[in-house]
Structure 1
Amino acid sequence: MPICEADPWRLQYFEGLPCPENVFIPTEDGDAWQWFPQHRWVYNKLRIAETQGFACGPHGIEPPSFPVFSKPIFNLRGMGTGSRPLRTLREYKSAQRPGHVWMPMFTGEHVSTDVAVVAGRARWWRHTVGEPIKDGMFDHWLVLAEQRPDIEAYGGNWIATHLPDYTGMLNIETIDAKIIEVHLRFADQWPDLYGGRDWVAALVALYAYGQWNFTDFNRRDGYSVVLFGGHGLQYRHPPQDLIDEITSEPGITSVQITFDEDRPASWHAMPPGGFRLAIVNCHNREAGFRAREKLAVSFWATQTLRSTRRRIGASPMPMRPPPEAHSNIE
């Protein structure tokens, strides 16, 4: 499929829609890096900070004041891995490592924004904010119907200045409307909440013909509700009839079972706080929460209690289950 999707649970958003065979639309940063070499510099977080005039530098250059925020200069998988605040000079000196950069530690709202860009002009925006739990986990994301004029004005000027010849989707992450990361792709978790098949058809036309023709008249808030389980367990997918039952309920737009049951759990990139089992997209948050509860009960009934770390020839080692089915949902 020319819309190149690494996660099979998200193919549901793109299947059955025509796309020219010579058009490749990335959903992964690794693919975008290879297919857009003239623009791959946006993955350099030091460059992104420098284009905005931030006080910043690689480790080895002492910050003029504290606190600062430290992160890898490049990281195409697990973008937040290795990121941390550094509050004092002593902490900075003890935490220095090659390939990391420091920059201001912004404290405003963290927003993820997808932008459709035609020749350096932003033609469509959609903003998302998350409800964090802990240790890299989110309870749910809110895909906002409302516009964010501060982000759109600042981000639109930045795109026109620094990517004047770019056509395609961008995902920009901002704090207090300042850009902290840029990706040459869109967030493939919620095309159904953006507008479904009409939105995906506009996406294809953007890459195939350099046009953006999506009519976004009926924007509604959307919710992406997440179910986490504990690490160290090998889970099985819930039965398809349960998925069909949930997706048929009013207000539910899709269900994603976000792991491959034929691969060891340890092979999946997951936040340290928990193993992401499923995502329910919906326009009714309470319906999404109810769906999550149904999925949680199913997972608890069907999971295999065994360690994902094995020695050659060793038998699976049983693990003590968590005290209740929803212990990792807060």
Structure 2
Amino acid sequence: MPICEADPWRLQYFEHTACPPDVNIPTEDADAWLWYPAHRWVYDKIAIALSQGLDAGPHGVPPPRFPVFSKPIVNLKGMGVASRVLSSAAQYEASLTPGHMWMALLEGRHVSSDAAVVAGEPHWWRHVTGEPVREGTFDHWTVHAAPDPDIEHYCGTWIARHLPAYTGIVNLESIDGRIIEVHLRMSDQWPDLYGAGWVEALVRLYHKRQWDFSDTDRRDGYSVVLFGPHGRRYRRPPAALLEEVRHMPGVSSVQVTFHEDKEPERHAMPPGGFRLAIVNAFDLDAGRAAREMLRTHFLVGAA
């Protein structure tokens, strides 16, 4: 299956879709970095900021003003690793870290957008917003059915200018309408919420270099996340429980998002919690009810 998925809990979205053996579709930034050498510069977050006229620089170059946002220049693992606000010159000097950067602190709506791009022209968009809880954790993500004309215009113009030869999915993260990160791959957490036939359209995009997706079943979806405390050893729920959750009305899919045979500290997780499961649903209340069923299992079974 050339849709190259590193997380076994997400293979469910792709394993039943035919894909030619010579077509590779990335879901991981490391694969995209290797496969698109002409475009891999987008993983340099300083370059992304400067391409929009935003203040940015590596640690060691003094910011002209504070506060600023600090993070690794390149982070192919995500999860907001080592990201923080630096409020003063003194805090900045105390936090200097090789390989890190600062940029203008943006405030406003944080949106993750997937775009299907053919030769630098976006042909399809979906926008997602998260409901944050604490320290990098989220209660849920909303996959919006509605378009976002401002983001689509701004980001579409940026794509046409900076990625004119690129064909594939681009994921862009923006705050207050300005791009903070670009990924040469899709968001693989919720492809089932994009509607029936979307994965088949994805394969055609990479195989035929064309976008053909009717998008007639477009509706709001929700990706509801379950976090547990760090420092415990969790066990996978029994198959019967997972099947019961999957068949709850309004639920689309369930992911158990950790490796049971891997030490907990070796998982890339945000400071605020250990991500245990994700429930994708077309009804938020149903997704939350499913999460509570799973929470009961994990709280009882954790070592």
**Could you state the TM-score of these two structures normalised by the residue count of structure 2?**
0.97
* Compared CA separation, residues 79 and 233, structure 1 to 2 (3 A): closer
- Give the corresponding residue for 1:238: 237
Counterpart Cα distance in 1 of 2:71 and 2:301:
39
Deviation at 1:79, TM superposition (A): 5.1
Counterpart Cα distance in 2 of 1:93 and 1:275:
31
* Structure of greater Rg: 1
- Give the corresponding residue for 1:219: 218
- Give the corresponding residue for 1:33: 33
Identity of counterpart residues, as a percentage? 61
Counterpart Cα distance in 2 of 1:81 and 1:53:
25
- Give the corresponding residue for 1:292: 291
- Give the corresponding residue for 2:49: 49
Paired letter, 1:35: W
* Compared CA separation, residues 64 and 9, structure 1 to 2 (3 A): same
Matched residue SS, 1:38 = coil
Deviation readout 1:82-104 (Å, 9 max, x if unpaired):
21111222222222222222211
Counterpart Cα distance in 2 of 1:94 and 1:248:
52
Counterpart Cα distance in 2 of 1:82 and 1:264:
21
Indicate conservation of the 8 Å contact 2:118/2:167, yes or no: yes
- Give the corresponding residue for 1:61: 61
- Give the corresponding residue for 1:149: 149
Indicate conservation of the 8 Å contact 2:225/2:275, yes or no: yes
**1:84-99 alignment to 2 at 5 Å?**
84-99=84-99
- Give the corresponding residue for 1:137: 137
Deviation readout 1:43-78 (Å, 9 max, x if unpaired):
000111111111222222222211111111111113
- Give the corresponding residue for 1:118: 118
The number of residue pairs the alignment matches comes to: 303
Unaligned runs of 5+ in 2: none
Counterpart Cα distance in 2 of 1:290 and 1:87:
40
Indicate conservation of the 8 Å contact 2:79/2:269, yes or no: no
Judge which range, 3-12 or 254-263, deviates more: 254-263
Counterpart Cα distance in 1 of 2:256 and 2:60:
43
Counterpart Cα distance in 2 of 1:146 and 1:69:
30
Judge which range, 137-146 or 90-99, deviates more: 90-99
**1:180-199 alignment to 2 at 5 Å?**
180-196=180-196, 198-199=197-198
- Give the corresponding residue for 1:272: 271
- Give the corresponding residue for 1:250: 249
Moved over 4 A (4+): none
Paired letter, 1:93: E
- Give the corresponding residue for 2:73: 73
Counterpart Cα distance in 1 of 2:84 and 2:95:
10
Counterpart Cα distance in 1 of 2:51 and 2:65:
20
